[in-house]
Amino acid sequence: ISTLHSLSMPQMPATVYTVVSAVIFIIIFIVGLLGNTLVIYVVVRYTKMKTVTNLYILNLALADELYILCIPFQCTQNVLSYWPYGEFLCKMYMTADIMSQFTSTFCLTVMSIDRYLAVVHPMKSAKWRKPHVAKILNALMWAVSFLIALPVTIFSNIQERFNSCNITWPEPYHLWSNAFILFTAIFGFFGPVVVICLCYLLLVIRVRSAGARAGLTKLRKSERKVTRMVVVIVLVFVLCWLPFFTINLVNLVYTIPENDFAATMYFIQVILTYVNSCANPILYGFLSNNFKQSFQKALCVARANELYAPDQQGLTSNLNRSKIGQVPASPARTKINNGPVQNIQVRNQ
């Protein structure tokens, strides 16, 4: 949530800005919505995907999906230069925005701690690294995010000056606003990033130590791909969100002028935060063989259902007509007719 929401957009021709911003938002929305929906589907659908790490990834995908669903509202406000949806949806939009942001950060922090425990303390942490524990932690992340978002829900409304959806803090306004920006920056980004970096620093020190090297060799072979995937996801998250929080903190000590450059920087940093949410599913597919195979399986099943459903319906209709006409079927003919139906059933499974 940024105080820069009130900045005017770059002073380019209205039609050019409208088209460019709308196209960018639409592309991110489609890619992010389809990608995160696919992640959610494969983790829920396939038993082999229900690992501890993947349950955290499922929670991250839910947070990304919620953030992506905010795009139509953000896009509409940017294109129209005002908020047309009323105060209730303004509150829901702002609440979803802050909840998804904090839940994503919490997920990445917990995933990093989980990677440290899995690699450095595999035996001691085995009783804690269970799916049911991961589900409880996922629920706690959303609960804490909801509590953090309550002030946003209460004070969000349509500002009269810009006719835009934003937070209107009570007096003293600057004290509330600055305190909230510091809080979100510390607990929603920089603090968790420090914890994440500490986890991987300790992990690297442990893995490189001579005494532990032999004992961890076998473990590293089974865990290093998962660890690498989590590290890349964290790095992309930091790169996409760092400009957002940096600009907010700079704005606390130095009032950013409302000019084309500042407005352009604001637009870019907003886009980057959405890009992060649509990039994660792509990273899963490239960095995890299990996710890649599950994506392919899910897409192939959907394609097979689409291709063979009409044929199956036609065969069923033909069989029904044969039954009504009481046409005797030879064993050879029965075998030919049953063959495609059996193949279709296997494909659907």
3-state secondary structure 143-211: HHHHHHHHHHHHHEEEECCCCEEEECCCCCHHHHHHHHHHHHHHHHHHHHHHHHHHHHHHHHHHHHCHH
| Domain membership flag for residue 296 | no
Model confidence pLDDT, tens digit, residues 168-218: 999 988 899 999 999 999 999 999 999 999 999 998 888 777 455 555 555
* Under 8 Å between Cβ of 322 and 334: no
Number of domains in the chain: 2
Q: Which of 259, 287, 315 is the last residue of a domain?
A: 287
Q: Does the pLDDT value for residue 329 go beyond 60? A: no
Check residue 326 and give left, alpha or beta (phi > 0: left; psi -120 to 50: alpha).
Answer: left
Clarify whether residues 128 and 13 are in a common domain.
yes
Q: What is the dihedral of CA 36, 42, 45, 49, to 10 degrees?
A: -120
Clarify whether residues 316 and 256 are in a common domain.
no
Query: Model confidence at 309, in pLDDT bands (50, 70, 90)?
Result: low
Q: Which of 287, 309, 332 is the last residue of a domain?
A: 287
| Domain membership flag for residue 143 | yes
Task: Report d(CA 65, CA 39) in Å as an integer.
Answer: 10
Q: Residue 178 belongs to a domain with what CATH number?
A: 1.20.1070.10
| Domain membership flag for residue 292 | no
Residue 159 pairs in a beta bridge with: 164
Domain that holds residue 240: 3-287
| Domain membership flag for residue 16 | yes
Exposure class string for 258-284: b at 16+ Cβ within 10 A, else e: eeeebbebbbebbbbbbbbbbbbbebb
pLDDT of residue 105: 96
pLDDT of residue 151: 94
Query: Model confidence at 337, in pLDDT bands (50, 70, 90)?
Result: very low
| Domain membership flag for residue 293 | no
Clarify whether residues 188 and 224 are in a common domain.
yes
- The distance in angstroms from the start CA to the end CA of the chain is 45
| Domain membership flag for residue 295 | no
| Domain membership flag for residue 9 | yes
Clarify whether residues 310 and 264 are in a common domain.
no
Clarify whether residues 178 and 318 are in a common domain.
no
For residue 124, the 8-state DSSP code is T
Can you tell me the mean pLDDT for 290-317?
67
| Domain membership flag for residue 277 | yes
Clarify whether residues 232 and 321 are in a common domain.
no
Largest CA distance in the chain: 89
Can you tell me the mean pLDDT for 117-128?
85
pTM (two decimals): 0.80
Looking at per-residue pLDDT, the higher value among 214 and 250 belongs to 250
Residue 75 is encoded by which pair of tokens?
A: 């896009």
* Under 8 Å between Cβ of 256 and 4: yes
Contacts of 95 (CB under 8 A, 6+ apart): 149, 152, 153, 156
Q: What is the dihedral of CA 206, 211, 213, 214, to 10 degrees?
A: -150
Clarify whether residues 260 and 321 are in a common domain.
no
Residue 81 is encoded by which pair of tokens?
A: 């230069």
Clarify whether residues 344 and 246 are in a common domain.
no
Q: How many helices (H) and strands (E) does the chain have?
A: 11, 2
Task: Report d(CA 147, CA 187) in Å as an integer.
Answer: 13
Clarify whether residues 322 and 234 are in a common domain.
no
Can you tell me the mean pLDDT for 152-175?
89
Residue with tokens 């998962």: 226
Residue 166 pairs in a beta bridge with: 157
Contacts of 251 (CB under 8 A, 6+ apart): 3, 4, 181
Task: Report d(CA 43, CA 281) in Å as an integer.
Answer: 12
Q: Which of 264, 287, 310 is the last residue of a domain?
A: 287
* Under 8 Å between Cβ of 60 and 100: no
Clarify whether residues 224 and 321 are in a common domain.
no
The Cβ-side half-sphere exposure at 23, using a 13 Å CA radius, reads 6
pLDDT of residue 149: 95
Model confidence pLDDT, tens digit, residues 35-85: 999 999 999 988 888 899 999 999 999 999 999 999 999 889 888 888 999
Best mean pLDDT range from 300-304, 317-321, 323-327: 300-304
**Residue-averaged pLDDT of the chain:** 80
For residue 254, count CB atoms less than 10 angstroms from its CB and return exposed for 0-12, middle for 13-18, buried for 19 or more: exposed
Clarify whether residues 219 and 321 are in a common domain.
no
Clarify whether residues 173 and 202 are in a common domain.
yes
